[in-house]
Structure 1
């Protein structure tokens, strides 16, 4: 069968190619550039727990060594610290300017790294993949599709025609794929503007990210009174100054003055030392493509959506697109087109991004409106700071990963369904599980392999060798139920899971979202849920039904 063609070699396109290759799907990546990225210290990415895990799993590289996990988060208004979060050991201690401190959650700190370092890691991993071909200096200009596949032409020094089974446009805001498919891209232009600088210096908060609103010193030139500082490796910081609406020119001289004023205000030093590495102006647009699929052509990343106001991370959503689409394309590539499953990509991901955009647009007037009665109400400033922290830290309606509660892949109400700490459709919590060979691994390590995960919660199994419990209790019956599923599945065992009682059975999608939780071994319910999770149809392996792996298979 023909490979999947991916137009665009940014982080989303490279991630999608790796995710497909891990599921034994060949790909061709059309890269407009020369195959490497120019270092730009001021162009950085913030990855949250799920997207950082996805990239580390695909690249096999500890990205933490290439970036910085924030030691803490600090919100300030004028001279006052209004919110402080300390990260450490996977847990947080959170303090606010309220009578009682609120407990933080257990999410790891965001990971901050230069974008060219991330794409370099992805390219290094792709270079080891025999199933992926990267065609450099190849700009897509023609797409022809029919019922059996897609033909694409790329111009360049070695212009060529490519034949593919599917084509995914990961080619950015000015997507050629989107234009060739005549897909509208409505939205808002210049929702926010930021002056950006990357510099090497020492700040009073080593390793912490800072959001400073209405600083007490006077700013030269146009300013909206909000500064963000985020640490990078080797003593480098990225600083962002929110600019007021309009098209005021940010000159190099004005930016240097702004840097000196900010560093002086933060350090009380009349001449703080710094080394300026890079500058720029970051303009945030909000747009959403009307369609994300036209036949065998899909959109992902910035080609499908633009967002990023109030600290939200557009790349996070693009990487989630790749994780969602990869396992569905892989299933269709191996077992034949399955329209409900492929349609669910747009249904799930477009709805998730639309909800994020709506949430941001609703709070933008409140946070950027410049006052009004609500701004004078007690506690309003703290509420605003909390909303902004949600966007930066990947929490709440502004930043948390999507829950596909209304997904077309959700099963009907099942008699054996029980509540656990994760609602159906949400990303599962990463816990330690026992794999097929009896070794202990993380649950998220088993994602992205094209198989559903069936997880039995069995307290006490961790202290026994696999041979002692794999044939005991409910295991033989559950293993038989997994073998009979209409799609490939892996059986895992966990000693515990948040909110789950003993003998609870979790069904998890290949992208890590929970399908359902069942109270005990219920083969009929498990089959119904698995069938719904792959679009209501069977996706059997060539070896026949029940190519299950895992304990007891």
Structure 2
């Protein structure tokens, strides 16, 4: 089996290579640089908890709360916990963690000094030509461009990248200091005498990232101006300027772009090569990691000839549709949030509603931040496929909650820790945690389920959970490798389980079945 060629060694390319390895697929990552990761403390990533779990991220800071203030008054304080707090980490730390993991992975190889120059495709694979110290010809089954906003892959494929430039701009600084809110992030609107908007978010080791809103287009921010912003902000918050260490500065400019297509034959786009966003706290790297999670399991199935080629079309349908919806939400929100008085007529509570909207992207909720829902995906089984499906608290196509699970060998953990490999089949069986697995492996529905699992057209892992929100005892919950709910079924309807798995692997698409078809945006 030819490897997958991944172009670009940023977080998305590295995460995709790691995800492919978890599915037993080899890959080669073409890194146009020298392999060294630039240590920029002010360049950070905010990841949703399930995304951080998917890439097995152990570092980063979780926030105890999110504070929203206007002038000098607290508008709202939102308590956060492990299931609701984002993970905030410097991008260099994320990249180093992924590289270190890949170095121990025999199915992955990172080649530095290999800049893509040309690519060719045929019915059986892709040929990539690279130049540089390690210039060569690389043959792969598929190729994925994770090479950033100026993607060479996208240009070689002739794919347009329309959108808007410089929709939002921030001055950024990373400081090591103590602030009055231990472990809490802050959005401060209308800080008197300093700025229209300041965001402070904690990082590990006593470091904070501060962002000051700037005009979308304007003059360069000089070092003296930035130092004045830092001193003015800290003085307003602390009464005087406390001791601090300035680690890094920069200006972050958010653009909004969406590639017309994310697939061209055997070549795909992911991450910033496919989309750009970041205004109002939306998360560019988080979206890119979701691209990798979505594409990896589909490539693995097709490379093993266990799924039709049509399955790969659903990558663009699901991910481009999701990011496109996020960008439309941004287009609608930006004039309301940044445009002044018109917001008062549209959002209850005037400025309070405005601050709530500003918070959504940062906390990963609402149209600006909530994880994607693939309920209208062509892979979502409808009533014709699973007529006995039942309703649970999680919508079909939405990410599943991180419930405690027990494997057949008796090992215990959380659901998100099992993502990224096989389909997951969860049997809701109250009381099983108090019994050794040997006692329930041959009881109730387990023998029948185990027999069905052996005959499924995709690899799947059978797990047991004490409870799943909204599910009754003996419900069987089917979860995709990227964590999205396929269906919930009464345990006795094991025939529907196989039908749902067939839908997930794209068998209905290959047969021309319109069930679950959706528009391409």
TM-score, normalised to structure 1's length?
Answer: 0.89
Distance 1:386 1:20 in 2: 38
Instruction: Choose which of 316, 319, 323 in structure 1 pairs with 2:289.
Output: 319
The alignment status of 1:25 with 2:11, answered yes or no, reads no
1:526 maps to which residue?
Answer: 497
Q: Measured at CA, do residues 226 and 438 of structure 1 come closer, stay the same or move farther in structure 2, by a change above 3 Å? A: same
1:482 maps to which residue?
Answer: 453
Aligned residue runs from structure 1 range 125-204, under 5 A: 125-204=101-180
Aligned residue runs from structure 1 range 77-96, under 5 A: 77-88=70-81, 90=82
Q: Deviations over 1:449-496 (max 9, x none)?
A: 1x2111111111221222222111222222222222222222111111
Distance 1:246 1:77 in 2: 25
Q: Measured at CA, do residues 372 and 345 of structure 1 come closer, stay the same or move farther in structure 2, by a change above 3 Å? A: closer
Distance 1:158 1:437 in 2: 45
Distance 1:85 1:440 in 2: 31
Q: Measured at CA, do residues 462 and 368 of structure 1 come closer, stay the same or move farther in structure 2, by a change above 3 Å? A: same
Distance 1:253 1:193 in 2: 18
Aligned residue runs from structure 1 range 245-284, under 5 A: 245-269=216-240, 271-284=241-254
2:515 maps to which residue?
Answer: none
Q: Aligned-pair distance for 1:377? A: 7.8
SS in 2 for 1:486: coil
SS in 2 for 1:234: coil
Aligned residue runs from structure 1 range 407-426, under 5 A: 407-413=377-383, 414-426=386-398
Distance 1:337 1:488 in 2: 12
Instruction: Choose which of 416, 426, 434 in structure 2 pairs with 1:444.
Output: 416
1:99 maps to which residue?
Answer: none
Q: Deviations over 1:501-528 (max 9, x none)?
A: 0111111111111100012221221111
**Contact 1:204 / 1:267 at 8 angstroms: preserved in 2?**
yes
Alignment RMSD: 1.7
Q: Measured at CA, do residues 166 and 122 of structure 1 come closer, stay the same or move farther in structure 2, by a change above 3 Å? A: same
**Contact 1:77 / 1:214 at 8 angstroms: preserved in 2?**
yes
Aligned residue runs from structure 1 range 125-524, under 5 A: 125-216=101-192, 218-219=193-194, 225-269=196-240, 271-335=241-305, 338-372=308-342, 374=344, 379-413=349-383, 414-449=386-421, 451-524=422-495
**Contact 1:36 / 1:120 at 8 angstroms: preserved in 2?**
no
1:50 maps to which residue?
Answer: 50
Distance 2:2 2:442 in 1: 43
1:37 maps to which residue?
Answer: 37
Q: Aligned-pair distance for 1:537? A: 6.5
SS in 1 for 2:398: coil
**Contact 2:429 / 2:466 at 8 angstroms: preserved in 1?**
yes
Distance 1:354 1:125 in 2: 32
Q: Aligned-pair distance for 1:158? A: 2.5
Distance 1:442 1:377 in 2: 38
**Contact 1:487 / 1:538 at 8 angstroms: preserved in 2?**
no
Structure 1 residue runs without a partner (length 5+): 91-106, 540-553
1:72 maps to which residue?
Answer: 65
Q: How many residues align?
A: 508
TM-score, normalised to structure 2's length?
Answer: 0.95
**Contact 2:344 / 2:351 at 8 angstroms: preserved in 1?**
no
Distance 2:287 2:250 in 1: 23
SS in 2 for 1:12: helix
Q: Aligned-pair distance for 1:499? A: 0.5
Structure 2 residue runs without a partner (length 5+): 511-521
SS in 2 for 1:35: coil
Aligned residue runs from structure 1 range 90-109, under 5 A: 90=82, 107-109=83-85
Distance 2:254 2:69 in 1: 23
Q: Aligned-pair distance for 1:374? A: 2.2
Moved runs in structure 1, 4+ residues, more than 3 A?
A: 375-378
SS in 1 for 2:216: coil
Q: Aligned-pair distance for 1:376? A: 10
Q: Aligned-pair distance for 1:247? A: 2.1
1:97 maps to which residue?
Answer: none
**Contact 2:262 / 2:270 at 8 angstroms: preserved in 1?**
yes
Q: Which moved more, 1:366-375 or 1:137-146?
A: 366-375
